[in-house]
Amino acid sequence: MIWQDKRVVVTGGAGFIGSHLVDLLRSKRANVSIVDDLSRGKNVSGRLDNVDLRYSEPVFPYGSIVFHLAAKVTGIHYNRDHNFDMMQQNLAINWNVSEAVRKSRPALYVCVSTACVYPHNAPVPTPESAGDIGDPEPTNFGYGVAKWVSEQQAKYIYREYEIPTMIVRFFNAFGPRDYYDNETSHVAPALIKRVHELEEGEPLAVWGTGLQSRALVDARDIANALLMLAENKDAHNGEAVNIGHEQEITINGLASMIMNLSGKSADIVNDRSMPDGYPRRAADTTKLRSLIGWVPDMPIETTLRDMIAEFQAGRANL
């Protein structure tokens, strides 16, 4: 695919992952517009359609490429206690975007989903086939259900309207421009913030057993994988593809790494009253490798150094 002058729309393009995708598209001289209500991310440069997708259908130019990243996304702390809110808001967003896609008939529709569609007992590394078996993991149930529904909408947009469609499932994205707020951040930015706020002699609190593991994926690698998949028509068949890797780290190991990179030292205390969520999470990347010949490979230390520098420089999204 030649991206120069290609009309591309990125919903959620002012947010964390969306803004990295916008940067990459613009580096390839694509004609990019952002659809975002700026309720969370505010990483905006260029054309913006300020639309609250919960209440309004966007307008997509005929024949454009649509990357749908807009969503209400939070961490386990918020997700587990607000399943109704997470379900309702994301169902509303996806309804309006799906209707706009159906009416505008883009050249390619990219539906962004999540590893949260997988059940608690999914095999690890997790193949795409596990996404249609059982309920999503309980601590992310509302969000996972809404994303699973968005996948079904995308699947039938492809089958019934013959619109080329990609469905991608992100695994544990992190990186610069992530969110560091107490209520909704994911594990890496939450630990970075907690480490930097430690008082002398204070232990570092880590939720759950600390033995739960994650395969953390740099958002810039995710943006690269999205474009590589978009360039391969074999991925435009309405079937899900994992974007992740299989290099796991325990949460206690992540906490120790963040302290070392930050020049901090503290005892780790595990708060077992808080949930672990998935005991393990890592992607089966067989399908991704077969389509693009690559998987995200940014070393976790590199990404953490960038995030820590961002936080220490006062540029973090707090």
pLDDT tens-digit readout, 154-189: 999 999 999 999 999 999 999 999 999 877 889 999
Highest mean pLDDT: which range of 76-80, 130-134, 209-213: 209-213
Q: Are 296 and 243 in contact (CB under 8 A)?
A: yes
- Rounded Cα gap, residues 212 and 26, in angstroms: 38
| Alpha-carbon 16 to chain mean position | 8
Q: Does the structure show a pLDDT above 80 at 1?
A: no
End-to-end CA distance of the chain: 37
Architecture of domain 7-174+217-246+281-297: 3-Layer(aba) Sandwich (3.40)
- Rounded Cα gap, residues 146 and 71, in angstroms: 10
The pLDDT value recorded for residue 183 is 78
**299-316 pLDDT per residue, tens:** 999 999 999 999 999 988
Which amino acid is it at 117? V
39 pLDDT tier (thresholds 50, 70, 90): confident
| Structural domain boundaries in the chain | 7-174+217-246+281-297
Q: What is the largest CA-CA distance in the chain?
A: 61
Angle between the 16-27 and 219-230 helix axes, to the nearest 10 degrees? Answer: 50
| Token digits of residue 52 | 């609250």
The average confidence (pLDDT) of the chain is 95
For the segment 191-216, the average pLDDT, to the nearest whole number, is 95
